[in-house]
A and B are shown apart, each in its own frame.
Chain A
Amino acid sequence: MKHWFSVFFVGGVIAYRGLFNWIRPAMYIPTMLGSPLFQLIFFTKLGQYAHAGSRDFYVVGNSTQVCAMSSVYGMTMAVANERSYGTLGPLLASPANRAAVFLGRGLPVLANGLLVSAFTFGAAALLLGFRPGVGTLPALAAVVVVTASSCTAFGMLLGSIGLRAKDYFFAANLAYFLMLLFCGVNIPLGDLPGWMSTIGRCLPLTHGIAAARKVAAGASFGSVGTLVLTEAGVGAAYAAGAYILFRILERESRRSAVLDAY
């Protein structure tokens, strides 16, 4: 069990440091902090111009969604870059527990996603006058943790696809942009056609953002319990799917001898 945790924690951190391409400050600050900040300003101003929703609607939606910068891109890199850097073979040849190897990579990604979201919420408070009640902050933080975890699980699925697919970054980029459209980040689900809101409800973020909006408006954590549980359930389903896909693609790559093919 000790070995399992060692692979989970130490292995996860080492993999993150080695495989997350944007870890250097010169890359991290513009990409992981600058871009979410301007995304927030862009959509808040667009909403203001379109008279579509209140300022807080866009602040909470975008500040929560930007955790996907880390979850989607970070997790994709943390898994798929093993193949790009030629280290996938040695990794899979090791006897380490696959669940520990795979899930351990999610922990630093999750921490990073929370940092990005917290930074964006802070920027919204400083620049856009976002003022949730102090009493709402613990509940808001808890909702964002669940949402970022769920989003990280989704990133794991994308990363697993990257074990086999050639252009995995295309999928990560596309997923990130589609989340902006489908997950109620900037458009209430009720304004979307039925099929789009149905897809949105099957994606991470959607229920978490809805819960975060209610909490920021003063609702108690208990009153958004169903939304938070649904978000956690969506995340658990993606994590399970990602792990199963990882094992299937690992076995198939061994069988067809394309483990390191690129």
Chain B
Amino acid sequence: MKHFLRILWSGLWLNLKMLSTSTFFLLTSSIQPVIFATIAFYMFRAGGRSGTLLYAALGAGMMGVWSTTLFASGGMIQWQRWQGTLELGVAAPPPLVLIYVPFCFANAIVGGYSLAATLVWGRLLFGVPLHLMHPGLFVLAVPAAILSLGLFGLLLASTFVLYRYANAMSNLLEYPVWVASGLVFSVSLLPAWTHPISWLLPPYWGILAIRHAALGGPVWGPLGMLALLGVCSVAVASVTMRWFEYLARARATLALT
């Protein structure tokens, strides 16, 4: 247990430090969400829906959490390859999935900066009131969403690695998940056939939990779905990660970029 916790902490801290000094992730987690939040604020104002500015701030923040998770986790193993540290991770005694779990948590935590950035930005520049309906549940919902997205990131990391152009997949999947998760608008605007896709996405349940905690609505159901999707992500990622490790060893392609 002590070793397990040490691996978790070391991986988390190391990746947090690396991401926090990256200008790309500074852009993704802090600047980009603020730009999108500003666009959303002006659009909501133009439509006479200024009462929904907190809705926009939370959604834009969650967009940043998703973008950071997507780019950081999706490209994580590829970057380890480029840096020459992937072999060290594979050769280490702990299971590979255990090594990358804290990395994925760190990715999602850095994404969490976005929520803070958009809420502060909204408060200072647009006077968005931060009156939370259920403050206690809000404090629970935010880390639950970040944790679940972190675990989903592990799934992304373990599957994107089979695709040589992982960054292209990341570029592609940013907007569709924003759309399908209804981060700044209701998914009821989308065709009915897309709704099952939304239900499989942690950002969908994450924003529901956070939004309901802030603006009113059931929170425990979305929280339960976040937990369920988190467990499923780890289960599938454990299998795909082992499979990737086996293939890379068998084909001697571990270090090939």
Contacts and interface: CB of A to CB of B under 8 A. Distances in A.
Given A170-B27, A173-B27, A181-B35, A48 B185 contact: yes
Contacts, number: 96
Interface SS majority for chain A:
helix
Interface stretch (B39-47, B105-113, B150-158, B228-236): B39-47
A245 to B, nearest CB: 21
Interface of A: 22, 24, 26-27, 29-31, 34-35, 38-39, 41-42, 45-53, 167, 169-170, 173-174, 177-178, 180-181, 186-188, 191-192
Nearest to A31: B171
B24 to A, nearest CB: 7
B54 to A, nearest CB: 14
B83 interface: no
Interface string B5-35: 0000000000000000001100100011001
Contacts of A173: 24, 27, 32
A42 B179 contact: yes
Interface stretch (B95-103, B115-123, B133-141, B161-169): B161-169
* Interface band, chain B: 35 or more
A35 B32 CA distance: 16
A51 B185 CA distance: 11
B175 interface: yes
A30 B39 contact: no
A37 B156 CA distance: 22
B184 interface: yes
8 contacts: A26-B164, A29-B168, A39-B175, A45-B179, A48-B189, A49-B189, A180-B35, A181-B39
Given A169-B24, A187-B39, A38 B171 contact: no
A47 B189 CA distance: 11
Majority secondary structure, B binding face: helix
A30 B164 CA distance: 13
B35 A191 contact: no
The 5 closest A-B CB pairs, nearest first, are A38-B175, A49-B185, A30-B172, A51-B47, A50-B47
Nearest to B176: A38
A47 B36 CA distance: 13
Nearest to A47: B43
Given A27-B168, A29-B168, A180-B39, 6 more contacts: A35-B172, A39-B175, A41-B179, A47-B43, A53-B43, A167-B23
Centre residue among B23, B48, B164 by max chain A CB count within 10 A: B23
B49 interface: yes
Given A53-B46, A186-B39, A187-B39, A46 B23 contact: no
Nearest to B169: A30
A170 to B, nearest CB: 5
Contacts of A51: 47-49
A177 B31 contact: yes
B48 to A, nearest CB: 7
B168 A174 contact: no
B186 interface: yes
B245 interface: no
Contacts of A46: 40, 43, 184-185
A30 B170 CA distance: 9
B44 A52 contact: yes
Nearest to B179: A42
B176 to A, nearest CB: 5
A30 B171 contact: yes
A187 B185 contact: no
B78 interface: no
A186 B186 CA distance: 18
B204 interface: no
A50 B176 CA distance: 19
Contacts of A30: 165, 168-169, 171-172
Contacts of A31: 168, 171-172
B190 interface: yes
A209 to B, nearest CB: 14
Contact of A191 (B46, B49, B165, B189): B46
A35 B174 contact: yes
A24 B165 CA distance: 10
